[in-house]
Homo-oligomer: A and B are copies of this chain.
Amino acid sequence: MASAAGVSTAAVSQAFNGTGRLSEATRRRILDTAAGLGWSPSATATALRSARTRTLALVVRRPTDVLGADPHFSELITGIEGELAPRGYGLLLHLVGDVAEESALYERLAAESRVDGAVLTDARADDPRPPLLRRLGLPAVLLGSPDGGCEVPTVGLGEQGAGIREAVAHLLALGHRRIAYVTGPAELLHTRLRGSVVLAELAAAGLSPSAVLHTDFTEGAAVRATDELLALPERPTAVVYANDSMAVCGIGAAQRAGLRVPDDLSVVGYDDLPLGRWLHPRLTTVDQQVQRVGAAAARVLLAQCGEDVPPAPLEGRPRLVVRDSTARAARPGTLPSL
């Protein structure tokens, strides 16, 4: 087959697998030659299949509408795909409603040999997934703090609380004393962790938060939470949001209410999405390097799947990125009444 097309066997493999650097003309010639010879790659492919699906799973436990609303997942997928695409791997995306559905899905994917491994997101207390995937013999990585004690490798930046601690310290240093926190669902580990850091950092300054409002991460919830905060008798002068898209919604809601950001209200986001750099005012946020964490998780999984991926340990921690949406707290008497 390779000699009939006048190419190397490696080129034939590349033509069928879409790897390598073949020109379209060469690829076409190889595939046409194969068709002329009645040759099909499916026998080889079938033999390979039991060993490799070249597919990793990403199961997201969110209402479908949040996937669209929260660019965090686009960033994560982008980071993962950046490692998968050059190696010809795909990402199997499943949306599920709850933990039971997610567990049943892993059992099916393992039983049907559909994926080579899985990236687990949203670590939570008493997480049933690591022991399940271990039992199923399915390689997995859990995104989260690399604190150990988990039955699958964990990939994430160290000192997960460091970024939000810097954010609160930054606001305190700017003179803010009425600080509110708009966060995610209470059952998520990172929500709990960051919430406790906010409380501890404020307590160390002798303060309590103006309010801690839980949301489902949707933009509508962010606007409602902001409206609620702005209606407080002791209106906060600064709000920290659990992600950038909620922070952008919060800035919009505050501006519509007649407040200037950052003069009348300082706003901090979380994630450092590209959008925050282009908005006016540019968003102060916490860079937790979602793409880089996604890429690192993909590399750990690829290595477990037998790919030749040199180890590249993930170093660093979440860091505050100070831009233009935070400023010195206005003195109480100078704030506009709404």
A interface residues (Cβ-Cβ under 8 A, vs B): 15-18, 22-24, 27, 31, 40-42, 45-46, 48-49, 53, 55, 57, 64-65, 67-69, 71, 73-75, 77-79, 81-82, 84-85, 88, 90-105, 107-108, 111-112, 114, 219, 222-223, 245, 248-249, 251-253, 255-256, 274-275, 277-280, 282, 291
Contacts and interface: CB of A to CB of B under 8 A. Distances in A.
Given A53-B114, A91-B93, A64 B85 contact: yes
Chain A interface helix/strand/loop/mixed:
helix
A65 B290 CA distance: 12
A104 B15 contact: yes
A16 B107 contact: yes
Contacts of A91: 92-94
A282 B253 CA distance: 10
B78 A68 contact: yes
Task: State how many copies of this chain the complex holds.
Answer: 2
Contacts of A277: 219
Contacts of A112: 42, 45-46, 48-49
A77 B62 CA distance: 13
Nearest to A97: B85
A53 to B, nearest CB: 7
Contacts of A88: 105, 108
Q: Which of A31, A91, A96 has the most CB of B within 10 A?
A: A91
B73 A278 contact: no
A104 B74 contact: no
Nearest to A249: B278
B85 A95 contact: yes
Given A64-B81, A253-B280, 16 more contacts: A18-B107, A27-B100, A27-B103, A27-B104, A31-B107, A41-B111, A48-B112, A49-B112, A64-B78, A64-B82, A68-B78, A68-B79, A74-B74, A81-B95, A93-B93, A245-B275
